[in-house]
């Protein structure tokens, strides 16, 4: 269970979540939003979750999001430089992140054609 905080959570698969939350000192942006995303395995304590992305303290927010398409589930990390602009990163199967080939754009609009989101923002 997660404590009270500004969370951003997305299902990666049946047994793993992508979680951005307050992990303790240094884990939030200067705006008070999460800046670290971790993969949390079902049944494990959150302290064992593996960090996959760290934004900067100067970012406004960082949040995971997953999209379900005919081709499968695609995970992204959105790094908000402002509330309206930022960078999207794709999560590869090996756990590494790569910057999106999409041009920089408002972070609330994915560049793929009408995916269905599986993210649950509690911000």
Spatial separation of the C-alpha atoms in residues 24 and 106, rounded to whole Å:
29
State pLDDT tens for residues 11-46.
999 999 999 999 999 999 999 999 999 999 999 999
Given the DSSP bridges, would you call strands 61-69 and 116-117 parallel, antiparallel or unpaired? antiparallel
State pLDDT tens for residues 75-108.
999 999 988 888 999 999 888 999 988 766 554 4
CA neighbor of 82 nearest in space, from 67, 100, 101, 60 = 60
């Amino acid at each position: 269970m997660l404590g009270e905080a500004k969370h951003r959570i997305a299902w990666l698969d049946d047994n793993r979540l992508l979680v951005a939350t307050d992990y303790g000192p240094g884990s939030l942006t200067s705006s008070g939003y999460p800046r670290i995303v971790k993969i949390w395995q079902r049944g494990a304590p959150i302290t064992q979750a593996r960090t996959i992305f760290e934004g900067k303290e100067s970012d406004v927010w960082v949040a995971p999001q997953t999209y379900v398409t005919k081709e499968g589930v695609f995970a992204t990390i959105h790094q908000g430089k402002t509330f309206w602009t930022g960078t999207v990163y794709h999560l590869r199967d090996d756990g590494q992140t790569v910057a999106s080939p999409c041009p920089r754009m408002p972070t609330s609009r994915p560049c793929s054609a009408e995916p269905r989101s599986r993210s649950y923002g509690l911000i």
